[in-house]
Structure 1
């Protein structure tokens, strides 16, 4: 359930002593399959969640950005809309505002609310960027195609937060459609909607927030990206998406680390294409094996999984789930599990019991269905 827009509007009035001019919502995303392929110019298949980030906003005439969050302990941040430098949560909306200044955006007061757990790999940062971007565009009458707006939000995260993310998260938040996954070609930016209704097939998608928080700015994400770029350079291709003969590519690389990275990216792109074929054929249950294969590759070839995710997937499979995998950049965050709806309770209990047996913090588990993309709600 997304944040209550009426309550957020009321909270805005209390915080700023005026009514907001609107409330905008952008969803988090769950990447069904296609991990670490986006910045390699490959394919991804995410879908939007019902949960996300909402922003209540109003224009200001003094050239300032006032940023407050109901989830932040601080009293908010005030920065010039002309530009600057920030760290922490406020860098995400401020970065978007600074780039939109080039398109005519001015000062604004923003109040932010979220029901996405930060650090869970569900793209709370992109949701914050996209909700802010929609709000400022509407407030200032800025018309930007949603594909271009996704690129602007990505640029804000790259330049003003320092995370070299790909385009997937922002595209999923802005372009998704209810009851569909979004097939995104990360090179061309072209996308198409693929029907995905697990409930109609008697299936449930479980999101397992492992409670092992990740921090993409810690360096491992950037290191994996650099390794992929180095491998592409050595192979003489623009990006790993362009590797056509995997065996030949692996044979020409001396570094075993780079060989593992290439193997994951190339086979993961194939898995995305296979998953799309299964969905279009209505064979939703057969996705499970693709998810599990993706997890094993992320664990063993790309080396970005973590113990809590491995246990979640292993115990889910043992309890009868169709498949599962870690999601997100890695080293913490969430996993997804595809299971028959009538087994979901058993799968959930098996994961919770395994965590308790290891004295780990209990996971947060919830069901997910493909939801609509970012929009104005008031």
Structure 2
């Protein structure tokens, strides 16, 4: 049954529209977004789809085709941050954030279905938030821009759900263009669509979902954010984005805390890796991006310490099997890796990773191509 049919079966009326918002992979620039830095994500073809109709009685009803249980019913006037509403906190948080910003949201019936793998570091939560924000923006005539919707969605996750994420995931879902990567400055939300047609160059970007679930609300992410903020204070800058890469050795010498020093080294060097990647893409030297990805993985593994055995195995095996480069993507502690590979070698590299996981006794990974896809959009009136 279609999401329209499922909506009608649930709520007894037709939806007023169908919307979609994608998950994402991040090519380069990790843990830089909450440091006002640079990132370069691209949208996936996997999406969260929402069928939605307005209500005027203050009732918010939310249902997911992907989660066991019935309709979650809430009162928009009684929405409270950190209220323990489970998965429904993501769309409910968007309604709360819109109302907190002064926008008239008087209730809605929402039915969701998603093909974005959960817990894989591919921003399944941001897809839920952005698709809800776009639907409510359209239905309520709020007139918000895509970056403004991304900020609303981020506030929902930060303040309502309680995950201190940066804005990259929501911006990627809201603003991406098919066939491009999004070069985003997270300080002012300025961005550039960078052509990223790998197939035309005989290349492919693979995603290796390790199937190790990660949860960014467990404290490890927040601890690293706090460490980065402590580093910025110690260095007398607004954010680590303001530490020039050329001055990194001097900055590190001024830091007494070894953990903070490692975090600072990763963030400042990863910002430089984003800028280096952009320069390579602009020059048409796409294959040279591969070693930059691997360099980024080593920094995430050794300085930020957010990798895990499965991610390390995926990266090491892919590179040994002939990949141009690879790294973990997303928040880490599980989730996925991205692998840049010659198209003709993609199957062999994927098979090598699958074999290595089997030999290590790990669950079979899910390997699929990351095709740069369209951002959030309305599918039907």
Give the TM-score of the pair, scaled to structure 2: 0.96
Determine if the alignment matches structure 1 residue 354 to structure 2 residue 318: no
Counterpart of 2:74? 79
Counterpart of 1:177? 177
Partners of 1:105 and 1:137 within 8 A in 2: no
Task: Work out which of the residue numbers 364, 370, 373 in structure 1 matches 2:372.
Answer: 370
Counterpart of 1:11? 6
Task: Give the Cα–Cα distance (whole angstroms) in 2 for the partners of residues 184 and 135 of structure 1.
Answer: 24
Runs of 5+ in structure 2 lacking a partner? none
Task: Work out which of the residue numbers 93, 96, 105 in structure 2 matches 1:95.
Answer: 93
Number of matched pairs: 373
Counterpart of 2:208? 208
Partners of 1:105 and 1:142 within 8 A in 2: no
Counterpart of 1:50? 45
Counterpart of 2:137? 137
SS at match of 1:90: helix
Partners of 1:96 and 1:132 within 8 A in 2: yes
Counterpart of 1:3? none
Task: Work out which of the residue numbers 287, 300, 303 in structure 2 matches 1:301.
Answer: 303
Counterpart of 1:286? 288
Partners of 1:28 and 1:51 within 8 A in 2: yes
**Would you identify which runs of 4 or more consecutive aligned residues in structure 1 move more than 6 Å?**
none
Q: CA deviation at 1:76?
A: 2.3
Q: CA deviation at 1:286?
A: 1.1
SS at match of 1:72: coil
Task: Give the Cα–Cα distance (whole angstroms) in 2 for the partners of residues 133 and 240 of structure 1.
Answer: 30
Counterpart of 2:228? 228
Task: Give the Cα–Cα distance (whole angstroms) in 2 for the partners of residues 52 and 279 of structure 1.
Answer: 27
Structure 1 83/99 Cα, relative in aligned 2: closer, same or farther at 3 Å?
farther
Partners of 1:60 and 1:109 within 8 A in 2: yes
Q: CA deviation at 1:142?
A: 1.3
Write the deviation string for residues 28-86 of structure 1: whole angstroms up to 9, x where unpaired. Answer: 11100000000011000001111110100011232100000001111121001124233
Q: CA deviation at 1:209?
A: 0.6
Partners of 1:201 and 1:285 within 8 A in 2: no
SS at match of 1:103: coil
Q: CA deviation at 1:291?
A: 0.4
CA RMSD of aligned residues (A): 0.9
Task: Give the Cα–Cα distance (whole angstroms) in 2 for the partners of residues 221 and 335 of structure 1.
Answer: 18
Task: Give the Cα–Cα distance (whole angstroms) in 2 for the partners of residues 137 and 148 of structure 1.
Answer: 10
Task: Give the Cα–Cα distance (whole angstroms) in 2 for the partners of residues 179 and 281 of structure 1.
Answer: 17
Task: Give the Cα–Cα distance (whole angstroms) in 2 for the partners of residues 282 and 104 of structure 1.
Answer: 47
Partners of 1:154 and 1:170 within 8 A in 2: yes
Counterpart of 2:317? 315
Q: CA deviation at 1:360?
A: 0.8
Task: Give the Cα–Cα distance (whole angstroms) in 2 for the partners of residues 164 and 267 of structure 1.
Answer: 22
Q: CA deviation at 1:138?
A: 1.1
Task: Give the Cα–Cα distance (whole angstroms) in 1 for the partners of residues 11 and 286 of structure 2.
Answer: 48
Write the deviation string for residues 278-311 of structure 1: whole angstroms up to 9, x where unpaired. Answer: 1111111111011000000000011000110000
Partners of 1:81 and 1:107 within 8 A in 2: yes
Q: CA deviation at 1:370?
A: 0.6
Write the deviation string for residues 286-343 of structure 1: whole angstroms up to 9, x where unpaired. Answer: 1101100000000001100011000000000111000000011110110000100010
SS at match of 1:141: coil
Q: CA deviation at 1:201?
A: 0.7
Runs of 5+ in structure 1 lacking a partner? 1-5
Write the deviation string for residues 79-118 of structure 1: whole angstroms up to 9, x where unpaired. Answer: 0112423321100100101222321121100000000111
Partners of 1:57 and 1:110 within 8 A in 2: yes
Q: CA deviation at 1:23?
A: 0.5
Task: Give the Cα–Cα distance (whole angstroms) in 2 for the partners of residues 333 and 82 of structure 1.
Answer: 36
Counterpart of 1:29? 24
Counterpart of 1:242? 242
Task: Give the Cα–Cα distance (whole angstroms) in 1 for the partners of residues 98 and 163 of structure 2.
Answer: 19
Matches within 5 A, 1:95-174: 95-101=93-99, 102-174=102-174
